[in-house]
Structure 1
Amino acid sequence: MTSYKIASWNINSVRARPHIIEQLVRDEDPDIICLQETKAHNDVFPAKWAHELGYEHHALNGQKMHHGVGILSKVPMEEHLKHDWQDNGEARHVGVRLPGGLRLENVYIPAGGDIPDRDQNPKFGQKLDFLERMTRWSEKLKEPTIIVGDFNIAPLECDVWSHKQLLNVVSHTPIEVETLKRFQDSHDWVDLGRQFIPAPERCYTWWSYRNRDHTVNDRGRRLDHMWASPELAGQVTAHRVLEPARSWEKPSDHIPLILEVSV
């Protein structure tokens, strides 16, 4: 059996926040770090810095100033795949195969703008279409897989600070929740966050920068996720959300998630 500790984090610019990634490494020492919203094209990604941290292997799909995903690993990775689920060339996915046969997919689903109507807001339609393309991919998936990332959807009523007040707010609208559920059902994905932190227990991964102190009113949402193929979920031995990271120096508005799995 091979064991992996895998971290996932929307870092909101890898070059602006290397110090908190370094703190994550000091505190948790993950084998693999999946980053979203790196905001760095591949040719300016700080690969030397990552190597010095102990992550010699990189799978990158970057874009100048926007989006971008990357996987940093202490172990070799194969078959770097980049799906264009946005269908416009945006860098929002990278996937690899790890030793032991495990597939690891890292995705940054679009936020979807502010208006939950595809006619008034094309970004919202793009988000729903992105999820539908993921679903078509997922229906054909045959390998044991873990998919992680910023899904930009809080699916359960207890995944937001106020279900009633956020029903018409992008990230928690019924159509987004329904679309994400179709994706989940397409492969019988197991939501590891709620496997280890059962509903209705509080679990948030994002707090807006608009709140100077996110702890005062705690208006969080669970936008970040780690899901596993059903045959793999029983081999996941731990899952945690690192909420203290939201208070680190110059933080991301998201916090890291960590899982441990044996394959």
Structure 2
Amino acid sequence: MPFKIATWNINSVRLRLGLVQRFLEEHQPDVLCLQETKCPDDRFPLAALRKLGYRHIEIHGQKGYHGVATISRLPMRLVEKRGFCGMGDSRHVSTLVEAGGRRLLLHNFYVPAGGDEPDPEVNPKFRHKLDFLQEMHAVRPQEDADTATLLVGDLNIAPLETDVWSHRQLLNVVSHTPVETEGLDRLRDEGGWVDLVRRHIPPQEKLFSWWSYRAKDWSFSDRGRRLDHIWSSPGLVPALRRVEVLREARGWERPSDHVPVIAEFG
């Protein structure tokens, strides 16, 4: 089952359409899942992406905020655009992709960032994030002889000590607090998901997919976090061939603060 999937928080698909086109042309994933598209459905750049061969596109967008999109050059159909926490935010789309004679149920997520204060009693954005994680427990991997499941996206949590530039200094910073990391661990383990990135790249190795715009020299300071994830049902693990975090994309012109994460199966 040769298949390549990528996930990328693009931080405005219209502003960075050229970067999306460059990535598709250079890396040619079968499916690309975008988050933070910041684009209503009727303004999404469908024609430009279809011109590159990505004719199957499902979007769940809203003006100026949030938004997810799954684009594919393989046959794909919409399964669901799930709402969370009664907020009306566009943060999820699930699709069914046909790949190598197998069906892949694909969940594309953009988890709330959570604001700056890691206290749900005083910060409603953090409360929203924790509630969102809890509701995600309803999304379970489906797997049988013909179907496997992938969950990808910007989950806005760096779970391991090696997923942040400094575990000690970020313990009280949103995205790496114990309540978040433990919550993400429960979501993964109780759901039966497998973290494919860390299955392929040893947990002892530092690994980041996001670097703040605030850094004058993001590469030199290298104060990153691994916020972007690719999970699967257990049956896909033996087919995993390669994982890549495309660090170089953070240095492209007018980049997103996130970079693509890619998984290849065969």
Mapped partners of 1:24, 1:199: distance in 2 = 27
Range with greater deviation from structure 2 (75-84 or 209-218): 75-84
Mapped partners of 1:80, 1:44: distance in 2 = 22
Q: Does 1:180 align with 2:184?
A: yes
2:166 maps to which residue?
A: 162
1:197 maps to which residue?
A: 201
1:120-174 Cα distance to aligned partner (Å, 9 max, x none): 0011011011011111332xx4332111100000000111000000000000000
Mapped partners of 2:139, 2:24: distance in 1 = 32
The letter of the residue matching 1:251 is: P
Range with greater deviation from structure 2 (74-83 or 7-16): 74-83
1:91 maps to which residue?
A: 90
Q: Any idea what SS the aligned residue of 1:131 has?
A: helix
The letter of the residue matching 1:101 is: R
Q: Does 1:246 align with 2:250?
A: yes
Q: Does 1:116 align with 2:118?
A: yes
1:2-39 Cα distance to aligned partner (Å, 9 max, x none): 32111110000000001111111122111111000000
Mapped partners of 1:252, 1:193: distance in 2 = 20
Identity of aligned residues (%): 51
Mapped partners of 1:226, 1:156: distance in 2 = 15
1:53 maps to which residue?
A: 52
2:34 maps to which residue?
A: 35
1:142 maps to which residue?
A: 142
Shift of 1:199: 1.4
Structure 1 spans left out of the alignment, 5+ residues? none
Q: Does 1:73 align with 2:72?
A: yes
The letter of the residue matching 2:41 is: N
The alignment yields a C-alpha RMSD, in angstroms, of 1.1
Q: Any idea what SS the aligned residue of 2:162 has?
A: helix
1:228 maps to which residue?
A: 232
Shift of 1:238: 1.4
Mapped partners of 1:148, 1:236: distance in 2 = 15
Q: Any idea what SS the aligned residue of 2:139 has?
A: helix
Question: What is the total number of aligned residue pairs between the two structures?
Answer: 259
2:133 maps to which residue?
A: 131
Q: Any idea what SS the aligned residue of 1:249 has?
A: coil
Mapped partners of 2:171, 2:142: distance in 1 = 35
Contact map agreement 1:187 1:229 (CA 8 A) in 2: no
Contact map agreement 2:170 2:177 (CA 8 A) in 1: yes
Structure 2 spans left out of the alignment, 5+ residues? none
Contact map agreement 2:210 2:259 (CA 8 A) in 1: yes
Range with greater deviation from structure 2 (187-196 or 173-182): 187-196
Contact map agreement 2:58 2:78 (CA 8 A) in 1: no
The letter of the residue matching 1:29 is: Q
Shift of 1:80: 3.0
1:255 maps to which residue?
A: 259
Contact map agreement 2:31 2:73 (CA 8 A) in 1: yes
1:200-230 Cα distance to aligned partner (Å, 9 max, x none): 1011000000012101211000000001111
Contact map agreement 1:59 1:80 (CA 8 A) in 2: no
Contact map agreement 1:188 1:230 (CA 8 A) in 2: yes
Mapped partners of 1:33, 1:137: distance in 2 = 20
Contact map agreement 2:96 2:106 (CA 8 A) in 1: yes
Q: Any idea what SS the aligned residue of 1:88 has?
A: coil
